[in-house]
Structure 1
Amino acid sequence: MTRLFVLGALMTLAIVLKSSPGQAANSVKISTKGDQLCVSSNGTPNHTIGTFPNRGNPHRFRAQKLTYCMDATPQDTGRITHRANASGISLTGVPFRPGTADFYDASSPRGFSRDSSSGWRLEGMGAADMLGMDRQNAHVDHRGLYHYHAPAPALTASLRGTVIGYAADGFPIHYVGDSVKPSWQLKPGKRPTAPYGRYDGTYEQDWQHVQGSGNLDECNGAVVDGSYVYFATDRFPFFPRCFRGTVSRDFLGRP
């Protein structure tokens, strides 16, 4: 795996909490229970969120009672797993969920639905307007759970250091702007089936991993100072979408 030197010393972070008019204050607790690192929160971010419902998102934000526990001392298993419904959790207790459950569907009035038969899954940020993302690259699901599809400017600005959260297998997630480059590229040419058109990032299948095209691996991670870490990036895949450690069950049961 590629070794990076862009980070320097890895820092322990302090959380700067902000109150937003008409929105409950962020509440989060990070603790260690045996061999588990647990993040518990009310699901409310430490910044103002967009207006929900909106044209692309019919759901209303609701505070949640969330607890995500993961390996406190993660180890590289030597294999890659793709199974997880959330990529990780922020230090402020808001989930990272870059993927979507929506697919191209010509028979739907909105042009997409939960019917996966087309094989073209909407990419959250590529279809941001269609899915009603706010300015923090986030929206809410059918339960009102607010979650990020890409790094949130307000979140990264509110934290001291580079760690913004933890992945589903316990490895830390760092954000360092454009100092690192993912190894995912848009496919050349055009889609062979409906919705046709050029590969432009609207759908997850528009992207392909090209080893060596960036300095991160397939899971958006790398070895830094002898330790494996993931990165949140400003371009696809935004957060890790596969994992080198053991994924916690807490990240498997939240569709």
Structure 2
Amino acid sequence: MPVELRKRKAPAPPPAPAPKKQSKTSKVATKVKEAVTGKTAESDKTNGSSKPAKPVVGDTITFEGFGGEVETNDGTKTTLKALIEESKSGVVLFTYPKASTPGCTNQACLFRDSYEPLTAGGLAIYGLSTDSPKANTTFKQKQNLPYTLLCDPSATLIEAIGLKKTPKGTIRGVFAVDKAGKVLIAEPGGPAATVDAVKKLVAEFDGEAKKEELVAEEAKPTNGEASEEKKDEEKEAEQPEDPEKTAE
């Protein structure tokens, strides 16, 4: 007879270890982590999509509320909207990290030395930084700057034009906008590069103005055409009236 083999029973699995008790310190750490993570996620949802993108050349911005309120170096409160309204054709803002430092002094003096040709077409130039009115006034007086310096300690305007460092600080650059709100320049750059960008813009303005003048000149009749038209008018005036019409 064949021998019948008995199957051995599988050994029972070992009991699961009891969960370790979490210490008070680790509990607090976990709660803090959850709170921070939750707030960050909520903040991302709230601010991530609603944060306005920095303006680029060709964009049209709305001046109402743009950049908040800033202060001139002499203590006057103002806004970009007010500066635009005071200008003839637009506003140029060049940003600098800190008044009276070497790079910022170089930049401010380059704008000073080119001030007349840059503003001849109606652009108004302003320096913009997070410095206090006192610091900017000292800077302006020491360097004989012909333009106003704007103080933006909260960096609201600096951030609005896309030249704020994260988390803190100012990127050196230049921003220009015309009276219709069209962004003409919006770029970071060194002291010379920021001035050159405005020079290029002014040259483009001058070129367009000259083209308009040429078109206007071409539309005017030449001396020969004008004299011929005058002769025709004189001939018409000299012609006698039709007797039949006179009899009527």
TM over 0.5: no
TM-score by length of 2: 0.23
Q: Which has the higher contact order (CA 8 A, sep 6+)?
A: 1
Q: Which has the higher strand share?
A: 1
TM-score by length of 1: 0.23
Greater C-alpha Rg: 2
Q: Which has the higher helix share?
A: 2
